[in-house]
């Protein structure tokens, strides 16, 4: 069975700080990897996804993630966060099927 | 265009009652998923429909939970004899997914279920 670990449960940053959220997955086969975001009061939306090809994936709002197969990792990064990035971030994987397995989420708070 | 819609947005029920939650996927999407988001368990997969194939029910937590998808479009998740631990936000998602390939899933706003 596949599983996803997100190491940071709560992160507080000041505006303009750099962000890196860790995500590791456990699955022996080919995976598709996703980062979803849930802004306060809104529903889940996709930030970025990796299916194949270039392991450095760029998403919306300046986010990017790097798939490192040898480390089973798919960390999310943003060089300079904004107050509007305050949200909950979920890493997710599909492997051997289409259902998403999610990590426990990371609450990001960006302070002005 | 219209996204995934769910109804009701909030549902409060008494323990032991049955509830039905509805999902309208994005038009043309062949795959439909139900997930549950709760404080203790995070986001969990419940059930997956793909076209006319038999649904993947592997995530349903008990036989009190069932779902159907009529005409390849609207889906209803039914919880019988609700328990307090069923309290959660029930999320529906759809995708244009082809079998065997992961696609982006588009999520609805969810139904917040509270069992008293």
Q: What is the DSSP string of A73-104?
A: EEEEEESS--GGG-EEEEEEEEESSS--EE--
Mean pLDDT of the A2-14 span? 93
Select the residue from B105, B109, B112 to test the A interface by mutation, using most A Cβ atoms within 10 A.
B105
pLDDT tens track for A95-105? 877 889 999 99
pLDDT tens track for B73-83? 999 999 999 99
Percent of chain B whose predicted confidence (pLDDT) is above 90: 77
**B7 vs B110: CA distance, rounded Å:** 8
Mean residue pLDDT across chain A: 93
- CATH value of A3-111 in 1.10.3720.10, 2.60.40.10, 3.40.50.970, 3.90.1710.10: 2.60.40.10
B103, pLDDT greater than 80: no
**B5-100 placed in CATH 2.60.40.10:** yes
Contacts of B40 (CB under 8 A, 6+ apart): none
A99 contact residues in B (CB cutoff 8 A): 33, 45, 48, 56, 58-59
The pLDDT score that the predictor gives to residue B92 is 97
Structural domain spans, chain A: 3-111
* Contact criterion met (CB < 8 Å) for A98 and B97: yes
């Amino acid at each position: 069975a596949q599983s996803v670990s997100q190491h940071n449960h709560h992160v507080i940053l000041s505006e303009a700080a750099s962000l890196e959220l860790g995500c590791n997955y456990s699955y022996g086969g080919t995976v598709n990897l996703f980062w979803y975001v849930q802004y306060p009061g809104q529903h889940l939306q996709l930030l970025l996804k990796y299916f194949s090809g270039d392991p450095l994936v760029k998403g919306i709002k300046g986010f990017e993630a790097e798939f490192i197969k040898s480390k089973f990792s798919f960390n999310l990064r943003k060089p300079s966060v904004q107050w509007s990035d305050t949200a909950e971030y979920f890493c997710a994987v599909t492997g051997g099927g289409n259902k998403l397995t999610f990590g426990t989420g990371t609450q990001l708070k960006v302070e002005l | 265009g219209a996204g995934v819609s769910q109804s009701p947005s909030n549902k409060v029920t008494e323990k032991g009652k049955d509830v039905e939650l509805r999902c309208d996927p994005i038009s043309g999407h062949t795959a439909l998923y139900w997930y549950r988001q709760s404080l203790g368990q995070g986001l969990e997969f419940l059930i997956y429909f793909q076209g006319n194939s038999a649904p993947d029910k592997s995530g349903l937590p008990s036989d009190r939970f069932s779902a159907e998808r009529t005409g390849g479009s609207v889906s209803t998740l039914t919880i019988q004899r609700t328990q307090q631990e069923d309290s959660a936000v029930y999320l529906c998602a759809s995708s244009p997914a082809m079998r065997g390939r992961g696609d982006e899933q588009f999520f609805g706003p969810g139904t917040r279920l509270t069992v008293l």
